[in-house]
Amino acid sequence: SVDVITGLIKSNIPTRISFKVSSKTDSRTILDQSGGEQLLGMGDMLYMAPGIAHLTRVHGAFVEDSEIIRVVNHLKEHSSPNYLDGILNPKSEPIGEKDSGHSSDELDPLFDEAVQIVTSTRRASISSLQRRMRIGYNRAARIIEDMESSGIVSSMNSAGNRDVLAPEPIEPDDN
């Protein structure tokens, strides 16, 4: 159905595979052309690679669960595991931190002030920090990224906004 396979989904998944469908309309929804309605079933499919306009007819093999279990048991009995050290013993440095050019030990001197502003205004945006703190875009962006890695703000949602996860600051009583 066009409601299920939207244009957005089709544009983001360039490879197409169609098994037997009931009508030309269903085939056109999946492949942008007819042909899927003529397939035989039982693993018979049409494959369209990205950038190639013609369809390739292929057959996918059906493998029962019992066969998969037998293969896995055979591999367990006749071979030893090959562990990847990078996965078993990860480096202490989180992924991506090396690329950012700074470590968590090097927080910006204005970080605490920025956290105070974000938690009190409940607005976590780079432009807001730029205006309130009179700093440049790159510095404000780095501070927001540090807040995200510290769990103070969320990552950007689909609209480009961030939620403030940290509670509002508690005002001291002047009694």
pLDDT for 76-110, tens place per residue? 999 888 877 777 776 654 444 444 445 556 888 99
Q: How far is C-alpha 55 from the geometric centre of its chain's CA atoms?
A: 29
58: enclosing H helix or E strand: strand 56-59
- Grouping H, G, I as helix, E, B as strand and the rest as coil, residue 175 is coil
Q: Which domain holds residue 141?
A: 94-175
* Secondary structure (3-state) at 43: coil
Output the CA angle 134-135-138, nearest 5 degrees. 155
Query: Residue 168's pLDDT is what?
Result: 79
CA distance 54 to 44: 17
pLDDT digits (tens, 9 = 90+) for 24-37: 988 888 888 889 89
Residue 25 lies in a domain: yes
How many domains, the chain? 2
**Residues 99 and 151 grouped into a single domain:** yes
| pTM flag (> 0.85) | no
